[in-house]
Structures are given as structure tokens and as C-alpha cells.
Structure 1
Amino acid sequence: MITALDHVQLAAPEGSEALLRSFYVDVLGMTEIPKPPVLAARGGCWFGADGVQLHLGVERDFRPARKAHPGLRVRDIEAFAERLVARGAEVVWDDNLPGHRRFYSTDPVGNRLEFLEPAATRKPV
């Protein structure tokens, strides 16, 4: 009986934690979540925002997820996209999901990320 999605884990290469922190905290505006000591010894980082958690775990033979991705809901998607672009992230808009505005970006190690906002929550223009 599933009640919620606890977190999504993405992979990252060894030694990429500083890059990940810079992107997920400074660019996306998430907060780093301290990992339990036994898990922290493995490397990687955890991040959260408004009940959403992304865990980035070290994978020795790392390959970025180019198709698989988390879909992250945002408020004021246009302003959020501008924030990413202003901080050097690529934003690729996609209008193929009816009832939503959405775009894709990648984290600094190449993992695909989707950001979306249902049309009903958008402010009138």
C-alpha cells in the first residue's frame, strides 16, 4: 500500500559532490540534507525542497541518465527557467504534455531533469 514517493535517486561520478552542491543548492534552490554517517561514507549528496528529495549516489562506472529523469513540479515556471539560465544552466522547452508548461535541463554531471507546472496553477498573463 504505497502512500507517497519518498525520494528519487540519481547516480553521479566519484568526487562530484562539490559540483552537485553548487547546482542543486545554488542553482535550483534546494537544501542539502545531511546523510546518516554510515551512508555519508559512500559519497554522494541528498537534497530537498518542499517535501521533495533527490539523492545523488556515487556510481563507480557512472553514466548519466539521459532519458530517465525525475519530474519536478515548480511554481512560476517562466521565472524558474530564467533563474536557471541566469546561473548558466541550459533550458529546453517542450510543449508536448497537454495542460502543462515544462522544460528539461541537466545537472552538472549530465543527468536529465524535467521541470513542469500544471496550466491550472499558472498566473494569468
Structure 2
Amino acid sequence: MILSLSHINLLVPPSTLHLAHAFYSETLGLTPRAVPPHRQHELAWFDIADSGQQVHIALARDEAVETASARHPCFRVGSAEELLALRERIWRHFERGGEGAPREADRPGGETSGDQGAGFPQRFFARDYAGNRLEFSL
């Protein structure tokens, strides 16, 4: 039986692994983790707190990375305050721009780009610099 998520794997364009390190470590606050030495030029791994769960980033084999995919991880945040703080941090990075900035981000205090219907927890969405859709939830 499946007990929990071990890791998710997201693709980024060739030659942008340094941007993944900046976004996933600095903007999202995930902890970088060692990858096999012979794969350091093509992979980045990050721990999600002490959950035993990870985000793996791999370089796409060519420039044709699907940029509007609905596939996504959902990162659970511990409180409404932490969720808002993360949403604000991602928004600031989006506004600041730069080659590693999110492509899309939900503005703090505004509507979200996802379904907020009855029975859904508070959440928001963003797309990383490579177009990977990310969801953040309580």
C-alpha cells in the first residue's frame, strides 16, 4: 500500500539548473540535498522540511518543455499565516522579475488562479520559471 509521497520530479529547460536552485531553495525555502556526483550537472534535489519527502528537478532533454501543464505538486503549509507569508514572498519574486522569477503568481489578497469552491482548503498557485505549476495549501 502507498503510505506517502516520496518525491515529485519536475522538468526544467536545459542549462537552467542554477535557476532551479535559486527558486526552490531561496524563494520556496526548501533544503538542497546531495545528488549522485556524476549527475550534479543534470539534477537538483530538495528536502521538504523533515518530512522525508523531496522535490527532484531534472533537465529536459531538449528545449520543448511543456510550459502550461496542469500537472503539479501541492505543497502543504502549516498555518494560514505561513501560507500568506509564502504567497507574499513568491509574489515579490514575481514582481522583481529576472530569469529565475516565477512566470505566474497569485497576488496576495487577490483571487487565486484555482478552484476555491466549497470544501477546498485555502490555497494559491504559481508557476516556476520553467512553467511548472505549483500549488500551496493548508
Deviating beyond 6 angstroms after TM superposition, the runs of 4 or more aligned structure 1 residues are none
Query: Which SS does the other structure have where 2:84 is aligned?
Result: helix
Match for residue 98 of structure 1?
A: 119
Change (3 A) 1:40 1:65: farther
Q: Which amino acid aligns with 1:56?
A: I
1:77, CA displacement in angstroms?
1.2
| Runs of 5+ consecutive residues of structure 2 not aligned to the other structure | 95-101
| Runs of 5+ consecutive residues of structure 1 not aligned to the other structure | 118-125
Q: Distance in 1 between matches of 2:73 and 2:120?
A: 19
Q: Distance in 2 between matches of 1:64 and 1:53?
A: 22
Q: Distance in 2 between matches of 1:40 and 1:106?
A: 24
Superposition map of 1:5-44 within 5 A: 5-41=5-41, 43-44=42-43
Q: How many residues of Structure 1 are paired with residues of Structure 2 in the alignment?
A: 116
1:83 counterpart = 2:89: yes
Residue number among 68, 71, 74 corresponding to 1:68 in the alignment: 71
Q: Distance in 2 between matches of 1:18 and 1:66?
A: 22
Alignment RMSD, CA only?
1.9
Q: Which amino acid aligns with 1:91?
A: D
Q: TM-score, normalised by structure 1?
A: 0.81
Q: Which moved more, 1:90-99 or 1:25-34?
A: 90-99
